[in-house]
């Protein structure tokens, strides 16, 4: 009998599978899609600074702990699989123009300093020294000031997923292409999951199906909104890389890869389960690149894609035992930070599944917590807050 059956083969499901298999459990992953059809593959792979402090909020604690684990996992994955996931502290430069943009920049810088991150405020000349490729944007007035977060990191999501999958297989994890249709519960316990190609039984289960988790959780009597929030990305190939830092302006960003690719992101859209790109959004992302870097002679559009972030009502993922069914756990709703929070989430949920003492307090992530009830407000990091911010930026 399989010890744990994980529903979902994105970053959250695969990271948990790797962790559980490393603890000696037999693990089976059921995934309708793998690789590039997942939000995890679509992600930009930006890891903002994540200092851990005694007064960190529950979300920051999860991110900070995950950040530390990522440094260990990157080394382990390279040793186990030979795949370099590209984790590197390239630094993040956050820039702005206009009175509103500059005011927001200062507020953000104070926020980062208050959280204990290294953060250096820069005037226009400082921005140009830090990232000479932005000199043209400064001359055109598109960038007037900025701040540097030297600890900001990037990772390459497709490579990280490939490394995780390879590590899982080496640890004996079975990964099956299968769509779960029904979670079959009898007398308060999961009896099996019904897939299109047959039933699967295990001692414990974990629902890690990204944006689809909320729909499946209804079968457990659990109301857990993981509303899909679409993000589109444009990938350019430049004759030579011009940037060294991740460049952030509001919700838009440029991520330079060492091989000359430049990733331009992203949108925050409520478009249901349509993981498709739109001509308008891709044109707007193309303008973001030229606004920052001017004309890009020789640049080629390599591809564009869209992914569905699993939303969160209160800004925190849901992790823990399902309230009314004994042997199924949840790990879903990581919204904009699922790549970053994947390592800590895997260790935390593995601790809960194996009955080990968790390193961080799981209570704030309880899938049955009262803050998950729909509210009129928009807590920071929630879907509602980001949709409002995206609408405000689009109107400017």
Ligand X SMILES: Cc1cc2nc3c(=O)[nH]c(=O)nc-3n(C[C@H](O)[C@H](O)[C@H](O)COP(=O)(O)OP(=O)(O)OC[C@H]3O[C@@H](n4cnc5c(N)ncnc54)[C@H](O)[C@@H]3O)c2cc1C
Binding site for ligand X (CB under 6 A): 7-13, 30-34, 38-40, 42-46, 179-180, 208-212, 216, 231, 233, 265-266, 307, 309-310, 332, 334-340
User: Which C-beta is closer to ligand X: that of 30 or that of 325?
Assistant: 30
CB 189, min distance to ligand X, A: 20
User: Which C-beta is closer to ligand X: that of 144 or that of 313?
Assistant: 313
CB 389, min distance to ligand X, A: 15
Look at the alpha carbons of 36, 285, 154, 60 in this order and tell me if their dihedral is positive or negative: negative
User: Which C-beta is closer to ligand X: that of 9 or that of 364?
Assistant: 9
> 56: which residues sit within 8 A by CB, 6+ positions away?
64, 115
3-state secondary structure of 157: helix
Read off the tokens for 136: 């043209």
User: Which C-beta is closer to ligand X: that of 138 or that of 167?
Assistant: 167
CB 210, min distance to ligand X, A: 3
Bond into 266 cis (ω within 30): yes
Degrees (nearest 5) of the Cα angle 320, 65, 358? 40
* Nearest one of 68, 258, 46, 242 to 152, comparing CA atoms: 46
Read off the tokens for 280: 């308008």
**β-strand pairing of 318-321 with 328-332:** antiparallel
User: Which C-beta is closer to ligand X: that of 128 or that of 330?
Assistant: 330
Residue 280: other Cβ atoms inside 10 A = 10
Number of DSSP helices (H) and strands (E) in the chain, helices first: 11, 19
User: Which C-beta is closer to ligand X: that of 263 or that of 360?
Assistant: 263
CB 180, min distance to ligand X, A: 4
CB 196, min distance to ligand X, A: 9
CB 33, min distance to ligand X, A: 4
3-state secondary structure of 211: helix
């Amino acid at each position: 009998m399989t010890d744990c059956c994980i529903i979902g083969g994105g970053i959250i499901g695969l990271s948990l599978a790797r962790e559980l298999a490393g603890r000696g459990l037999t693990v089976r992953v059921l995934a309708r899609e793998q690789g590039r059809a997942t939000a995890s593959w679509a992600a930009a792979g930006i890891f903002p600074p994540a200092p851990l402090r005694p007064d960190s909020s529950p979300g920051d604690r999860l991110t900070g702990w995950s950040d530390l684990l990522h440094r260990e996992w990157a080394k382990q994955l390279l040793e186990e699989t030979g795949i370099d996931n590209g984790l590197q502290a390239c630094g993040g430069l956050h820039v702005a123009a206009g009175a509103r943009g500059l005011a927001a920049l200062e507020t953000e810088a104070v926020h980062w300093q208050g959280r204990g991150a290294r953060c250096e405020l820069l005037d226009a000349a400082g921005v140009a020294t830090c990232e000479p490729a932005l000199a043209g944007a400064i001359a055109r007035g598109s960038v007037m000031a900025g701040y540097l977060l030297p600890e900001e990191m990037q990772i390459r999501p497709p490579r990280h997923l490939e490394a995780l999958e390879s590590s899982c297989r080496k640890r004996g994890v079975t990964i099956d292409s299968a769509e779960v249709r029904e979670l079959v519960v009898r007398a308060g316990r999961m009896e099996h999951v019904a897939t299109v190609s047959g039933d699967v039984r295990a001692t414990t289960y974990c629902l890690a199906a990204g944006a689809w988790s909320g729909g499946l959780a209804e079968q457990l009597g659990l109301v857990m909104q993981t509303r899909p929030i679409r993000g589109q990305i444009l990938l350019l190939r430049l004759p030579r890389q011009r940037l060294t830092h991740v460049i952030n302006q509001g919700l838009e960003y440029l991520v330079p890869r060492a091989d000359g690719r430049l990733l331009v992101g992203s949108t925050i859209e409520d478009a249901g389960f349509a993981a498709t790109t739109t001509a308008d959004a891709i044109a707007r992302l193309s303008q973001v690149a030229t606004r920052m870097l001017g004309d890009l002679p020789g640049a080629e559009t390599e591809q564009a894609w869209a992914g569905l972030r699993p939303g969160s009502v209160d800004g925190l993922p849901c992790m823990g035992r399902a309230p009314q069914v004994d042997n199924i756990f949840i790990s879903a709703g990581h919204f904009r930070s699922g790549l970053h929070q994947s390592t800590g989430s895997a260790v935390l949920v593995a601790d809960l599944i194996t009955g080990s003492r968790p390193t961080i307090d799981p209570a704030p992530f309880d899938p049955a917590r009262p803050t998950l009830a729909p509210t009129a407000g928009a807590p920071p990091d929630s879907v509602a807050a980001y949709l409002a911010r995206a609408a405000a930026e689009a109107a400017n």
